[in-house]
Amino acid sequence: MSEISTIVGHRIRDRRKKLGMTQEELANLSDCSYNYIGQLERGEKNATVKKLAQISRALDYPLSELFEQVEGLTDTKEKKEKNIPLRCYEILCSKPEKEQKKLLHLILELENYNN
C-alpha cells in the first residue's frame, strides 16, 4: 500500500492506544470489523473517506489531523532528511501527552545546554 496509508494507519493506531482502546472496541464504535481496523493500522488497506470519518469520530480525533503534514512525510528520502522538523513533529504527535511533556523538557534542556 501507499506510504500515506501507512502513516494514516499508524496515526489511527497511536490514537486508539492513547485512549486505551482495543481494535475490537474501535471497530464496534466505528461500525467496522476489527480485522479491517487491523489492516488499516498496518497500512494494508486504503479506507474510504466515509470509513475514515467514522473511525475519526469514534476516536474523537479530527479527520484533518489524520492527514496533517502527510505530504511532507511522504516525500523522497532526501527530502525527508532535509525536513527534520516535520519528522520530529510526527514522532511527537504519536506519543501520549505525558511523553510529549518529557520530550519537550529534554529539548529545552538541550537548548539551554548549548547556550
What number is the average pLDDT over the span 67-85?
62
What percentage of the chain reaches a pLDDT higher than 70?
Answer: 85
pLDDT for residue 79: 53
Of residues 107 and 57, more confidently modeled: 57
Q: Domains plus CATH for the chain?
A: 1-66 (1.10.260.40), 69-115 (no CATH)
Of residues 87 and 63, more confidently modeled: 63
73 contact partners, CB below 8 Å, separation of at least 6:
3, 7, 80, 86, 87, 90
pLDDT for residue 50: 94
pTM above 0.75, yes or no: no
pLDDT for residue 10: 87
pLDDT tens digits for range 26-63: 999 999 999 999 999 988 988 899 999 999 999 999 88
What number is the average pLDDT over the span 66-81?
62
Q: Average per-residue pLDDT in the chain?
A: 83
The number of CA neighbours under 13 Å toward the Cβ of 102 is: 5
What number is the average pLDDT over the span 103-109?
88
